């Protein structure tokens, strides 16, 4: 039996090399990057539902609002020099990039050797999940803020429409947010409001928490609002399959929901829908919103504070409702060389730099419940 000679290590095939040359872990690091990106893309939904721009060589990006103009009859002999009211009016919105957002982990060489599974791939997915979670949360908070705002264009005779807030249900109980009939009615009210404000039907979406979504599909599935071809996993996925009034519906644990993210448990009240805690939910379920007064480090845009979302229970918006500025798209970095030797392991880092804010308030709708008073602007 012939054996491969080991006298010349360069002749031994290394599966981590690119084209059999270079570092023996070159492809492993690329695999890790791919796992991080897949984890990020799988968990984020807001990134593709709003206006996203890439920022280079600057700290903020300017978005321009152009208001409507009018039409008038021409008087014979008069010069045509533009609208007599100097329309259309123009305003601007500037979105600043927040500080660098990171998620990292240290991988000890011995742990990696002893583990019976691909440790780096598992960690990479979790890093991607963490970045995606924060990404969506900031965008959804920005959209909620926009739904409570007036248009930045306030020129005389050309005041543009602002945001919309639609009440889910008619009682003082937050549990109205889980009643399917209330949600369907709210979606039609929101669609009508968007139509009346001249918002394009292209790119309209709604985002609910999982329990709301599942209550909704049980009701609309039997009412004929869902195409019979859309069944099984597609219907359960919550990835924009269900539509009401032309609004694609998503589910997410990252929307502001009665002062927390995604869901809340406990005794029913005006700010609590009264869902029983299923037990062992962990620290990431029903997580409280960060209070801006206590979490200002790294934040350069206004995202609101916890108590300002006390009655929020869903969002409906069109892609012009908010903008996201990326200075650094999701990236991965890994230590190597002398650093790895000194610490006998690698630090694996996922990072991005982004900022978000509302753009066109008319394209944003906030759903609220448990109160007859609309949540105030912030």
| pLDDT (tens digit per residue) in 240-256 | 567 889 999 999 999 99
Tell me which residues of the chain have a pLDDT lower than 70. 1-20, 22-34, 37, 84-86, 116-117, 221-241, 291-296
What does the buried/exposed string (b/e) look like for 203-225 if buried means 16 or more CB atoms within 10 Å of the residue's CB?
Answer: bbbbbbbebbbbbbbeebeeeee
* Dist. CA 169–CA 323, nearest whole Å: 30
- Domain 26-66+88-368 fold: phage-related protein like fold (3.90.1690)
Q: Where are the alpha helices (DSSP H) in the chain?
A: 26-43, 109-114, 119-147, 180-196, 210-223, 233-236, 338-343
pLDDT score for 27:
58
The two structure tokens encoding residue 6 = 């080991």
pLDDT score for 233:
52
Q: What is the pTM of this model?
A: 0.84
pLDDT score for 9:
46
pLDDT score for 2:
47
pLDDT score for 58:
85
pLDDT score for 80:
83
**Cα dist. 295→68, 266, 291, 304, 305 in Å?**
39, 26, 6, 11, 9
């Amino acid at each position: 039996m012939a054996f491969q000679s080991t006298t010349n290590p360069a002749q031994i095939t290394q599966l981590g090399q690119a084209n059999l040359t270079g570092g023996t872990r070159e492809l492993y690091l690329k695999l890790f990057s791919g796992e991080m990106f897949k984890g990020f893309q799988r968990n984020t939904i807001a990134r593709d539902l709003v206006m996203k721009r890439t920022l280079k060589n600057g700290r903020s990006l300017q978005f321009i609002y152009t208001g409507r103009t009018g039409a008038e009859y021409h008087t014979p002999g008069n010069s045509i020099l533009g609208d007599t009211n100097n329309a259309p009016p123009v305003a601007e919105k500037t979105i600043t990039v927040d500080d660098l957002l990171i998620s990292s982990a240290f991988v000890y060489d011995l742990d990696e050797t002893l583990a019976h599974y691909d440790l780096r791939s598992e960690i990479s997915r979790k890093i991607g999940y963490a970045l995606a979670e924060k990404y969506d949360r900031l965008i959804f908070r920005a959209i909620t803020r926009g739904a409570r705002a007036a248009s930045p264009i306030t020129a005389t005779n050309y005041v543009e429409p602002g945001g919309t807030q639609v009440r889910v249900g008619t009682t003082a109980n937050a549990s109205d947010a889980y009643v399917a009939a209330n949600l369907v009615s709210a979606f039609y009210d929101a669609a009508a409001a968007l139509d009346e404000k001249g918002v394009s039907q292209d790119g309209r979406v709604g985002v609910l928490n999982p329990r709301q979504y599942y209550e909704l599909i049980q009701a609309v599935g039997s009412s004929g609002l869902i195409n019979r071809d859309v069944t099984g996993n597609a219907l359960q996925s919550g990835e924009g399959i269900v539509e009401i009034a032309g609004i694609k519906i998503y589910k997410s644990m990252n929307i502001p929901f009665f002062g927390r993210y995604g869901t809340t448990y406990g005794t029913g009240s005006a700010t609590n829908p009264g869902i029983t805690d299923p037990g062992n939910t962990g620290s990431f379920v029903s997580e409280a919103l960060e209070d801006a007064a206590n979490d200002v480090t790294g934040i350069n845009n206004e995202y609101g504070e916890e108590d300002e979302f006390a009655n929020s229970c869903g969002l409906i918006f069109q892609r012009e409702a908010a903008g996201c500025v990326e200075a650094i798209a999701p990236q991965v970095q890994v230590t190597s060389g002398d650093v790895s030797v000194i610490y006998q392991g690698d630090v694996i880092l996922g990072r991005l730099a982004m900022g978000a804010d509302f753009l066109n308030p008319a394209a944003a709708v906030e759903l609220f419940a448990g109160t007859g008073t609309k949540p105030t602007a912030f």
